Amino acid sequence: MALKAKYCSQCGALTEMQIIEERSREVCPACGTVFYRNPLPVAASVVLNAERKVLLIKRRNDPYKGEWCLPIGFAELDETIENAARRELKEETGIFGQVVRLLDADSVLSAFYGDLLIVSFEMQKVGGVERAGDDAAELAYYPLEVLPQLAFSSNYRAVQACIKAHEDEWAIQDSFSRLHEDDGNRLLSDALVTAIEDHAEQILRLWLEEVASNPSTPSYHTLDCYQLLEKATSQIAHFGRWLRTDQADEEVRAFWMAIGRERKAQGVPVYELLSALTLLRKHLFNFARRQGVYERPIDVYRVLELNRRIVLYFDKTMYHAIKGYAQG
């Protein structure tokens, strides 16, 4: 804790404790100077690399010598807290940083320093080369999920706040990177695929109403509606599995080639077959688009990702349907 002011710094008289503004404070009875005690401002930086690892330093000096923490240090007079964070980052790690966002402000009572106000920023590296300096004995980038014991609890708060700030961004990046894989990894749009499967009958009845009246599909106006609904329901029943893995390619090929042959036998022109498939694709996408409230970029991405998957899937179905039609 900070030492009390025994003598007045203005006139040298002995100070005494008085209740000022509902707090006990040191006051000079001679000249009336009130000594206000404020927490020491401290700036810390969270720096992530491209692998989503966080930069930590091992402390060279007490307190907490030999323990790991974020680049951290006291703000000086005539220095903004952001500039203090940048300066400490450069002194301790050798890199130049640019403030991305404020992450956390935490009040801490330190047995060594007294009351601290630790303000943590996310910093983007914009220059320099990593090297341990000033109060840092070592430095290293650590995976966010396996951090070492940190000297300051506020550092944990700052790291967690940084993870939270990137949550949607990283989820989008990870889902996008898996978009063309066939190893069963989940995608953000999988929930919408499940919703389509669960509401297949509702979607298909809307599609059936349109193909039975749309001027681009006149031949469908005379086809058996129940048979169309049965075929389409069979397709949607397998929609999720067909969409999620390339291992179902043979089933997709066989199903849609049979549809192509069947439509040719029914006298449906090939362009009407394509129009009917396009209308089905539209109804699937429109249903998915209506499923959420688009408050965050991740909500928009989820629908756009599904649209991309649907487009790729229907490219495949149209190819097989036309091939079956040609062979029919």
DSSP element (H, E) containing 205: helix 200-211
323 vs 260: CA distance, rounded Å: 7
284 vs 303: CA distance, rounded Å: 11
Angle between helix 200-211 and helix 225-237 axes, rounded to 10 deg: 140
28 vs 14: CA distance, rounded Å: 7
How far from 41 is each of 70, 80, 85, 155, 265, CA to CA, in Å? 15, 10, 11, 15, 81
Contact status, residue 105 vs residue 142, Cβ threshold 8 Å: no
- How many Cβ atoms are within 10 Å of 54's Cβ, its own excluded? 22
Beta-bridge partners for 167: none
In this structure, which long-range contacts are made by residues 29-37, counting pairs with CB atoms below 8 Å and at least 24 apart in sequence?
Answer: 33/8, 33/9, 35/5, 35/9, 37/2, 37/115
Residue type, position 256, single letter: W
98 vs 96: CA distance, rounded Å: 7
* Geometric angle at alpha carbon 153, from 147 and 159, rounded to 5°: 50
Sign of the torsion angle spanned by Cα atoms 298, 299, 305, 308: negative
Residues catalogued as catalytic: 138
Residue type, position 111, single letter: A
Closest to 317 measured CA to CA, from 264, 268, 271, 259: 259
